[in-house]
Structure 1
Amino acid sequence: MNRNFYQTLGRPLSPLYSFAMRLREQFYANGVFASHTFDVPVISIGNLTLGGTGKTPLVQHTARLLLANGFRPAVISRGYGGSTKERINIVSDGGRPLLDAGYVGDEPRMLAETLPGVPVLTGIVRRLPAEKAVEMGADVLLLDDGFQHLAIRRDLDLALFNADTLAGNSRVFPGGDLREPVRALYRAHAFVLTGADEGNIERAVRFKHLLENKFPGRPVFFSGSRPAGLVRQVKDGRRMPAQASELAGRRCFAFCGIARPEGFQKNLQQLAVQPADFKALPDHHAYKEQAVRQLVQAAEKAGADCLLCTEKDLVKLRGLALPLPLYGVLMQSAPESSLDKLILERVGGKNRRLPQ
């Protein structure tokens, strides 16, 4: 049974869920539910739709942008998929990763590994790790997947859409792809269409105009996402830079546990990699011993001589003894320079502890 089938079954429940989300939004707007304000700027990077929209690469880009301009950002995440129940988890103190992916979730661990100098903290009640980050010296807070997290007020609220899927079927969960009704987008300060390329640009431009007409005064930006390179993960968990030429003539078994596996397949095409076989796993897939054994068996059946996955999957495979070389694809977000300008303007305007 495919996703459309389940959405058809869930369609009668969509109005009920939609009403609940609208009521929740009103409770925050009217002060029934508390919303905390920080003295430092808060940037939220999130989305209205279910599934992947390229949030993590944009979080990485924004953190590096702020670092390069003298700020001290920290990333705050819920830590989806991690086993921890602690209220505050310091995944990285800015110096090095401290907690593993199984404990805090794959995306926070990946951010901790790829953002040296940037603290990464998680917690279900995100106000608490946010307060801790400020105590640690952060002067900008980045909320990863924060659009629905209304308990923290933000100075810049970015709502992302994937240029391939846009708003999906425009129905609210469980009958569709939306986490909230479309009217929730009035909370956004700007929109970002990610993953735009030659194959989807015409439709994405039409969607851009639709957003501009329906939500006037809110700019719409494009952000490309491209493979930034390859790494090979060795048995002790270290990553070694690798060249795409290393995969020339090899039979790779490709796999991923992300929301949009078709996006990873597109990345492989950009790298001119033709995998011997491809396996799509559930988002935030936990690589237990049996699951890894099944992957290896599938690779061997396909006659593969190496494994290839996303960077997000790579962090969960550290320390596992694999009989085949393991490679990962690094991704890089490339937004319009005007989005960078907006981010720096909002941060500079609010920040009460400007960089020295």
Structure 2
Amino acid sequence: MAFIRPESYLRLIRGEIRGPLAATVRAGLSLASVGYRLGTNYRNARFDVGKDVHRAAAPVVSVGNLTLGGTGKTPMVEWLARWYRDRDVRVCLISRGYGRADSVNDEALVLEENLPDVPHLQDPDRVRLAGIAVEELEAELLILDDGFQHRRLARDLDIVLLDALEPFGLGRIFPRGLLREPVSSLKRADVIVVSRADLVPPERRNWIREEAKRYTGEAPILEARHAPRDLIDGEGHATPLEGLEGRAVAAFCGIGNPEGFRRTLESLGCRVVKLRVFPDHHSYAAEDVEELSRWADGSAADLILTTQKDLVKLRLSDLGAAPLRALRIGLDLLGDPRPLDDRLAALLPQNRPVPGA
């Protein structure tokens, strides 16, 4: 798939690109999906009977999803870490470290900036990391980032995010669609969180809930939004969001869901005059910065916006003649949070306060 640009691939699998060649490619992707699904089913069947599953010496909360691309796992991980840190629990984050550069990837850099008191370990062998976290860092609880498919490490709570903009991966397994595994895998979830729920109308939110309920049984389904917090520059200095209403901005990002970023900017009243999209986890080289500077100067915008994931790799406060700022995002739960609070509280060490007590 390396020869297809990400936006072209999405248009292809959505059927927006027509013609005999596109149809032939989609047929080939469908055949490849069969092999991918068989491999996934075999792997899940082994884990279902406990093959090669290892339990850590501390509770594990997993945050994951069903689909490729961004669903808001990083804001959810941050929210959970803050929830436990507010209750004096020693938390450690564990992740594989996709797209790593200079030993940590962009999500780790964002979490390090936003959660300086929470250690974050990255390595493909997350069972080994769990041992290090408990034995060397004395962690009392582990948060497993992007863990729904990583079943070698047993978890006490499985939280699965569904992106309201594309919750079920076009209904097809990768590479013909965006599903990592069948939607029926939601039966393993303990809690479902529909992210970016504020960006879709109520009838779509209801449809997502009803579709998820077909597989989840009694698992609670919550909704969340990605709430803009502030703007930060390349040195991490924050400024408030006031003044964005009606302002013409140019934006760029290298994330799994650029459409969600665009909609968030528009929800703040920005006029997005240009949007430049890079592949997820894009590593910016010097030539990228030069090209972006020219792009910014030609955009007729007096402010350039990006995501925190992108800015932590660039560490710039200007592009060309325009200031560059990142929109820092947090997660807000919509509605009653008690179904999630109760499940998180059940994993608190015995000497920690229960919410509301």
Partner of 2:237: 240
What's the TM-score, normalizing by structure 2?
0.86
* Aligned residue runs from structure 1 range 240-279, under 5 A: 240-245=237-242, 247=244, 251-279=248-276
Q: Which residue of 1 aligns with 2:44?
A: 25
**1:231-288 residue CA offsets vs partner (Å, 9 max, x unmatched):** 222xxxx222213345568653211111111111111112212133211111111111
Contact 2:97-2:105 within 8 A present in 1 as well: yes
The structure, 1 or 2, with the larger RCO (C-alpha pairs under 8 Å, 6+ apart) is 1
Match for residue 67 of structure 1 among 81, 85, 98: 85
Match of 2:112 in 1: 112
Q: Distance in 2 between matches of 1:77 and 1:339?
A: 25
Please tell me whether residue 10 in structure 1 is matched to residue 29 in structure 2: yes
Q: Name the residue aligned to 2:347.
A: 347
Of residues 299, 308, 327, the one that matches 1:329 is 327
Question: 2:152 corresponds to which residue?
Answer: 151
Q: Is the 8 A contact 2:160 2:191 kept in 1?
A: yes
**Deviation digits for residues 88-129 of structure 1, max 9, x if unmatched?**
xxxxxxxxxxxxxx4311001111110122111101111122
The yes-or-no answer on 1:306 pairing with 2:324 is no
CA separation in 1, counterparts of 2:202 and 2:59?
A: 33
Partner of 1:131: 131
Gaps of 5+ in 2: 1-7, 15-25
Q: Which residue of 2 aligns with 1:189?
A: 190
Contact 1:163 1:196 in 2 (8 A): yes
- SS for the counterpart of 1:169 is helix
Aligned to 1:95: none
Distance 1:215 1:205, change over 3 A: same
Q: By how many angstroms is 1:320 displaced?
A: 8.3
Q: Distance in 1 between matches of 2:123 and 2:344?
A: 27
Percent same amino acid among aligned pairs?
36
* Distance change in 2, residues 1:105/1:339 (3 Å): farther
Following superposition, the deviation at residue 338 of structure 1 comes to 2.0
Q: For residues 322 and 169 of structure 1, do their structure 2 counterparts lie closer, same or farther at Cα, with a shift above 3 Å needed?
A: closer
Alpha-carbon distance in 2 for matches of 1:217, 1:77: 28
What does residue range 48-127 of structure 1 map to in structure 2 within 5 Å? 48-83=66-101, 102-127=102-127
Q: Which residue of 2 aligns with 1:87?
A: none
Rounded Cα–Cα distance in structure 1 between residues aligned with 2:308 and 2:262: 14
Count of residue correspondences: 330
Alpha carbons 1:277, 1:302 under 8 Å: kept: yes
Provide, for residues 317-343 of structure 1, a one-character-per-residue CA deviation record: whole Å limited to 9, x for no partner.
126884442211011111241244134
* Distance across 2 between alignment mates of 1:305 and 1:198: 26
Matched, 1:210 2:193: no
Stretches (4+) displaced over 6 A: none
2:58 alignment partner in structure 1: 40
